[in-house]
Amino acid sequence: MPDVCALHHAGLLVSDLDRARGFYEAVLGLQVYPNRPDLPYPGEWYELGNGQQLHLMQLPNPDVGSTRPEHGGRDRHIALAVRDIAALKSRLDAAGVRYTASQSGRAALFCRDPDANTLEFVEVS
């Protein structure tokens, strides 16, 4: 049985890397991981801390044209921990990014990036 101990990285497909960078860097404030290898497609890697990363890959999306649920909690998603959900809401509001509160009652919210990838943000102490 493998000893799974952490999420190393999550990979998301994007159609426009510059637009995606604007969202992930300017709106979310993520820091670029400087050692992305030379891969045969455009992309960007972000350091999330504790050795965890988020990888953006500008590749064809097999889900183009599919209908996504209104609430991101009912869609496939990645969840990122944040220390201050109110500060995140302010950044999303300032950027005009729509979000919905978690329906579980937790201090969490869901939004979509410019390519409709769902992100959950969970407040941790």
Is 2 among the domain residues?
no
pTM as predicted: 0.90
Question: What does the pLDDT read at residue 99?
Answer: 95
**Conformational region of residue 99, where left means phi above 0, alpha means psi within -120 to 50, and beta covers everything else:** beta
Is 4 among the domain residues?
no
> How many domains is the chain built from?
1
Structural domain of 75: 9-123
| Residues 17-48 pLDDT 10s | 999 999 999 999 999 999 999 999 999 999 99
> What's the alpha-carbon Rg for the chain, to the nearest Å?
15
Q: Which of 68, 44, 63 is nearest to 119 (CA)?
A: 68
CB under 8 Å to 43, separation ≥6 — which residues? 17, 36, 55, 56, 57, 58
Is 3 among the domain residues?
no
Question: What does the pLDDT read at residue 15?
Answer: 95
Q: Is 72 helix (H, G, I), strand (E, B) or coil?
A: helix
Quickly tell me which residue has 């799974």 as its tokens: 4
Distance CA 123, CA 88 (A): 10
Q: Which of 23, 77, 75, 76 is nearest to 46 (CA)?
A: 23
Is 68 among the domain residues?
yes
